[in-house]
Structure 1
Amino acid sequence: MAAGEGESEERVYTRARTPELPEDADISVLDPEVKQELRGLPKGLAEIVGRHLAAAGMLIDSEPELALEHARYARTKAARVAVVREAAGLAAYHAGEWAEALSELRTARRMSHGTGHVAVMADCERALGRPERAIELAREAQVALLSPDEAVELRIVAAGARRDMGQLDAAVVALQGDDLDEKRRDPWSARLFYAYADNLEAAGRTEEAVKWFLNAAQADDDNETDAAERAFDLSPQD
């Protein structure tokens, strides 16, 4: 790190405005492990940081930019707490601030000595136009330590990186595995089937793509994808 770089970063965060807390942003809604980490802070400070983390979590899907403001503010108050850096990274990711997200998640990973959100980090590398780094992250990840859903997300991102590089057949192969079974109904099956179908279409394997979009639609109990519409659009019309 260049001399003064860290100080400059701290000043940027210190100047961040204090976002107004929603009334229902309460520390009690945080996950137990987050609250446990915050116990290392003075009680009053832990309450402030916890409420801003709660606000970030509440707003991350509907108002990601505002969620990021809350996470950044929490970061100014507790930059040495891993879960705070993790929250800042995830909020930045949802707000499309890829470089900031990557920096925060790397820091959180170093502080916690865990696997971190490696799929999110890899996706940030893709968004920054560095698909080869995304693939390298996927290779380095200790897959045995990842949860099954995290491992699947990493495969999806790695396949996308292959596709970014024009390696369409390799992208398809990257998603293949024992869990790519149309009879499976794992929590991640719909996303996996959809990604597989999407990459099959990109590789020009339209008939297979239709089949897997239909499989994704059948596995998508929460209607989170447009798999059925994609299958219809690709099917021959009379």
Structure 2
Amino acid sequence: MKQELRGLPKGLAEIVGRHLAAAGMLVDSEPELALEHARYARSKAARVGVVREAAGLAAYHAGEWAEALSELRAARRMSHGAGHVAVMADCERALGRPERAIELAREAQSLKLDPEEAVELRIVAAGARRDMGQLDAAVVALQGEDLDAKRRYPWSARLFYAYADNLAAAGRTEEAIRWFLNAAQADDDNETDAAERAFELGPQD
């Protein structure tokens, strides 16, 4: 980040850097306040890619989907990189445009995404399919070599959970229970309610 801010006058770079740091610290706990900091930084340095990226992510966490999409598109143009394509696709979903989310996922097949970003994009694309009522296609969208209960990746719990959730939506209850249990076993940080979902889907006495 410091390198990208070097093109600004020193005093301005320090001010923008402080606001970006504040946005980063607050984005999970106080997303609206984080967005205020990111917007201020953007008002001072709109031509810096990392500033637009931070504004986009802060807007996403604050639920400002259109603003997030606009900022992340700008950041992507400036950096000429893959950008946060999974976040962008999720914004399209939130704005009621699942077809556009799927289109972004298709376009991203030619990009060099890191494995975690690629998995997030698959999860979003599956959600978009589900939004369109394509329940079987949503299940298929999540299948891949890493959908293996015997393997563990940093994203396994999220992937297994999403797969189970879509199986449940498609009426494949027994499989859904099994994958919710797999997700619970992979969820070392207890970030999901996978065990509870498995219990809810099971036979009730």
**What is the TM-score when the length of structure 2 is the normalising length?**
0.99
How many residue pairs get matched? 205
Partner of 2:173: 206
Shift of 1:35: 1.4
Describe the SS at the equivalent of 2:144: coil
Output aligned runs, 1:106-117, within 5 Å: 106-117=73-84
Shift of 1:172: 0.1
Is this contact kept in 2: 1:200–1:206, CA < 8 A? yes
Deviations 1:3-37 (A, max 9, x none): xxxxxxxxxxxxxxxxxxxxxxxxxxxxxxx1111
Mean Cα displacement is larger for which, 97-106 or 135-144?
Answer: 135-144
Shift of 1:41: 1.2
Describe the SS at the equivalent of 1:141: helix
Is this contact kept in 2: 1:159–1:171, CA < 8 A? yes
Match for residue 151 of structure 2 among 184, 190, 199: 184
Output aligned runs, 1:42-191, within 5 Å: 42-142=9-109, 144-191=111-158
Shift of 1:208: 0.3
Shift of 1:40: 1.6
Is this contact kept in 1: 2:50–2:75, CA < 8 A? yes
Is this contact kept in 1: 2:82–2:111, CA < 8 A? no
Describe the SS at the equivalent of 1:204: coil
Query: Equivalents in 2 of 1:229, 1:211: separation in Å?
Result: 12
Is this contact kept in 2: 1:159–1:172, CA < 8 A? yes
Is this contact kept in 2: 1:115–1:142, CA < 8 A? no
Shift of 1:38: 1.1
Shift of 1:184: 1.2
Shift of 1:211: 0.2
Shift of 1:39: 1.4
Deviations 1:51-79 (A, max 9, x none): 00000001101110000000000000100
Is this contact kept in 1: 2:92–2:98, CA < 8 A? yes
Structure 1: segments with no counterpart, 5+ residues: 1-33
CA distance 1:229–1:143, change in 2 (3 Å)? farther
Query: Equivalents in 2 of 1:175, 1:142: separation in Å?
Result: 14
Query: Equivalents in 1 of 2:131, 2:74: separation in Å?
Result: 27
Describe the SS at the equivalent of 1:142: helix
Is this contact kept in 2: 1:190–1:219, CA < 8 A? yes
Is this contact kept in 1: 2:23–2:33, CA < 8 A? yes
Identity %: 91
Partner of 1:218: 185
**What is the TM-score when the length of structure 1 is the normalising length?**
0.85
Shift of 1:144: 4.8
Query: Equivalents in 1 of 2:155, 2:191: separation in Å?
Result: 11
Structure 2: segments with no counterpart, 5+ residues: none
Query: Equivalents in 2 of 1:71, 1:132: separation in Å?
Result: 29
Mean Cα displacement is larger for which, 143-152 or 201-210?
Answer: 143-152
Query: Equivalents in 2 of 1:35, 1:233: separation in Å?
Result: 49
Deviations 1:124-172 (A, max 9, x none): 0000000000000000014550000000000000000000000000000
Shift of 1:111: 0.5
When the two chains are superposed, the root-mean-square deviation of aligned CA atoms in Å is 0.8
Poorly superposed stretches of 4+, deviation over 6 Å: none
Query: Equivalents in 1 of 2:111, 2:158: separation in Å?
Result: 21
Describe the SS at the equivalent of 1:176: coil
Shift of 1:237: 2.3
